[in-house]
Amino acid sequence: MVEPRDIVGSTDHQARLGDHDWKDLVEHHQALLREALGGWRDVENDTADGFYATFDGPARAIHCALEIRDRFHELGIEIRAGIHIGECELIDGKYAGIAVTTGARVSALAEPSQVLVSQTVKDLVAGSGFTFEPAGEHELKGVPTRWRLFSAQ
């Protein structure tokens, strides 16, 4: 799962741009996300609080998050992304469960333009050519135990 959580500084952007231009930016943001997501076998799940999608493999999720980060960086916009993998339940056509919540918590800890992954994801993509920088051990609000996180490069 990848969740480009939000546009960094979104409130500042909105205040600077005004409602009409902000709406245009958000629509452009979502169109670019959907374009990038389409190339990595995703399933768009929700855009209510950020933008999250599911993938059929963790490497595709990382590739997509890095591509999205780079596309938006070229536009002068920073996003945060978090990736976790686990079993999910389908509720009213949307994936849910502790794995989704964990991914959202990982995303919330990401710095601007950072793609954070859980230890689980890092272990599963070993040998795939990604590099990771340690990002510390964290408590994730409402999620049991402490989690080791890594910044994908």
**For residues 95 and 91, what is the distance between their CA atoms, to the nearest angstrom?**
6
| The pLDDT value given to residue 120 | 96
Residues 134 and 99: beta-carbon distance below 8 Å: no
| The pLDDT value given to residue 130 | 97
Q: Which domains does the chain have, with CATH numbers?
A: 2-152 (3.30.70.1230)
| The pLDDT value given to residue 39 | 60
| The pLDDT value given to residue 28 | 75
| The pLDDT value given to residue 2 | 44
Q: Could you tell me the pTM of the whole model?
A: 0.74
6: number of Cβ within 10 Å: 19
Low-confidence ranges of the chain (pLDDT < 70): 1-8, 37-50
